[in-house]
């Protein structure tokens, strides 16, 4: 009965919906004109989500650069959905008529190709970070595909492992928490750990477990590892800070916080605080603030002709950025310049953090 009544009235509702729809349509039609009116290119940041601290800082860096350069800035969020990430970028390309600079952290490795091809076709300039297929190269898309930036996961994994080993006096058992098994970062950081272990035979890896980058999973895992190994655990290696902080809270529940050192990667605020209080031995960060701002800066400078991508050396087209180590020695200074205030960055120093070309 109720349903049939609803059906009868459905016609009158749809007329109102039509009016609203028409108004919305008119508004959308007016929008591209506003955007097109600007001569200056639009800066576009494409990232995975705003719900993780890493990409939140990335966005702050992008906004800081846009403000410094006096340009419009738009952030696109893929929410971990590759289709959406690519579609949003194509929509932006259409809106701006290709007059844009894109700094993208592609959601997944294969995504980089359609993104780069769409940008090259529309005449936009693009910088990718972290993820791209091995056979996709900036030099094949001159001048639109300006650069690709990564951070050497093997070096990060090894550096933090060595600092952890030193913190526990060069011998004893450790446990390791790895990231999502199939991701490049997880594989490389573990390789770095393995290399450090091979060089330090007195350190024993009690167990390697996977907590999928998440603090909640690391918390549960650590409780179990403590049950299994108890006091044999002298240190904890985590492939990112979020897992490290989950492990830290599990230690705290057993009154072990600060007694068992933890190391991680990313430099999120929780980890920096923990380094200050001595509960983390160190963390290393790719500096998302720099990634967010400098990716746009490199693309924009190529776009306005400050340099010609085709004439740049290979180590400016595909390179490892310099990671920043935050340990007991420099944490106070880092805290003052990066956490309490927004970092001051020299946005003209495009290649200052190049450490070398990416391994083939």
Partner 1 sequence: MKSVSDIERTTLMTFLPGRIATMLGGKRWRSLAPLAVLAVLCALITIANPNFIELRNLAAVPLTLAMGLTFIILMGSIDLSVEGTLSVAAMVVVLLAANDSNGNDYGWWAVLAAIASGTVMGLISGLVQTMLRIPSFMATLGMWFIGLGLSVYMLGGSAIRLNDASIRDLALHRFLGLPLAVWVALGAFVFAAIIQYHTRLGRHILAIGGDEDVTKLSGVNVTRVRIAAFALAGFFFGIAGVLAAAQLGQSHAVIGDGRLFAAVTAVVVGGTALTGGEGGVVNTLIGVLIVTVLANGMILLGISPYIQQTVQGLMIIAAVALSLDRVRLKIVK
Contact residues for partner 1 (CB under 8 A)?
Answer: 49-53, 55-56, 59, 178, 181, 207-210, 212, 214-217, 219-221, 223-228, 230, 242, 245-246, 249, 252-254, 268-270, 273
Alpha-carbon gap, residue 239 to 160, rounded angstroms: 9
The least distance separating partner 1 from the CB of residue 51, rounded to whole angstroms, comes to 4
CB of 99 to partner 1, least distance (A): 29
Distance of closest approach, residue 246 Cβ to partner 1, in angstroms: 6
Residues 6 or more apart whose CB falls under 8 angstroms from that of 354 comprise 315, 316, 319, 320, 321, 322
Beta strand pairing call for 203-210 and 172-178: parallel
Strands 145-150, 318-321: pairing is parallel
In the bound state with partner 1, the residue whose beta carbon lies nearer, of 196 and 274, is 274
CB of 65 to partner 1, least distance (A): 18
> Residue 1 is encoded by which pair of tokens?
């009965």
Q: How far is the CB of 49 from partner 1 (least distance, A)?
A: 8
**Residue number with CB closer to partner 1 (51 or 330):** 51
How far is it, in rounded angstroms, from Cα 186 to Cα 285?
Answer: 15
Q: Say if CB 129 and CB 147 are below 8 A apart.
A: no
Comparing CB distances to partner 1, the nearer of 121 and 228 is 228
Cβ-in-10-Å burial (0-12, 13-18, 19+) of 61 comes to buried
Nearer Cβ to partner 1 (162/242) = 242
B/e letters for 161-184, b = 16+ CB within 10 Å, e = fewer, are bbbbbebbeeeebbbbbbbeeebe
Q: Three-class SS string for 221-235?
A: HHHHHHHHHHHHEEE
Residue 175 near residue 225, CB atoms below 8 Å: yes
DSSP string, 65-118: HHHHHT--EEEEE-TT-HHHHHHHHHHHHHHHTT-EEEEE--SSGGGHHHHHHH
Other Cβ atoms less than 10 A from the Cβ of 110: the count is 13
* Least distance from partner 1 to the Cβ atom of residue 260, Å: 16
Nearer to partner 1, 24 or 181 (CB): 181
Q: Residue 145 forms beta bridges with which residues?
A: 126
**How is residue 14 written in tokens?**
């749809």
Question: Tokens 């057993």 sit at which residue?
Answer: 254
For residues 79 and 349, which CB has a smaller minimum distance to partner 1 in the complex?
79
CB of 18 to partner 1, least distance (A): 21
| Residues 328, 344: Cα–Cα separation, whole Å | 22
CB of 233 to partner 1, least distance (A): 13
Residue closer to partner 1 (CB basis): 88 or 249? 249
- Smallest separation, CB 28 to partner 1 (Å): 22
Nearer CB in complex with partner 1: 56/76: 56
Token match 């009965």: residue? 1
For partner 1, the closer CB: 64 or 268: 268
């Amino acid at each position: 009965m109720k349903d049939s009544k609803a059906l009868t009235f459905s016609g009158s509702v749809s007329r109102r919906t039509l009016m609203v729809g028409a108004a919305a349509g008119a508004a959308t039609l007016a929008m591209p004109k506003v955007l097109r009116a600007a001569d200056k290119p639009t800066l576009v940041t494409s990232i995975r989500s705003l719900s993780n601290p890493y990409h939140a800082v990335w966005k702050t860096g992008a906004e800081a650069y846009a403000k410094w350069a006096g340009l419009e800035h738009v952030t696109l969020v893929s929410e971990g959905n590759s289709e959406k990430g690519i579609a949003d970028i194509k929509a932006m390309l259409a809106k701006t008529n290709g007059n844009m600079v894109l700094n993208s952290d592609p959601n997944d490795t294969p995504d980089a190709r359609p993104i780069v091809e769409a940008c090259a076709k529309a005449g936009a300039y693009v910088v990718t970070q972290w993820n791209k297929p091995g056979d996709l190269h900036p030099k094949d898309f001159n001048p639109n595909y300006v650069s690709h930036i990564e951070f050497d996961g093997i070096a990060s994994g090894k550096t933090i492992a060595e600092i952890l080993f030193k913190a526990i006096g060069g011998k004893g058992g450790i446990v390791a928490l790895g990231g999502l098994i199939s991701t490049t970062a997880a594989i490389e950081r573990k390789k770095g750990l393995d290399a450090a272990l091979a060089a330090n035979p007195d350190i024993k890896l009690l167990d390697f477990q996977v907590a999928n980058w998440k603090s909640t999973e690391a918390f549960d895992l650590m409780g179990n590892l403590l049950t299994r190994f108890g006091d044999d655990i002298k240190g904890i290696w985590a492939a990112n800070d979020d897992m490290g902080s989950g492990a830290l809270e599990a230690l705290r529940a057993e009154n072990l916080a600060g007694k068992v050192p933890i190391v991680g990667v990313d430099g999120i605020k929780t980890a920096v605080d923990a380094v200050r209080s001595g509960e983390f031995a160190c963390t290393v960060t790719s500096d998302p603030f720099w990634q967010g701002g400098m990716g746009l800066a490199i693309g924009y400078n190529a776009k306005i002709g400050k340099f010609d991508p085709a004439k740049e050396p290979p180590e400016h087209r595909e390179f490892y950025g310099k990671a920043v180590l935050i340990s007991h020695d420099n944490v106070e200074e880092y805290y003052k310049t990066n956490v309490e205030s927004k970092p001051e960055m020299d946005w003209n120093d495009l290649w200052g953090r190049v450490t070398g070309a990416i391994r083939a």
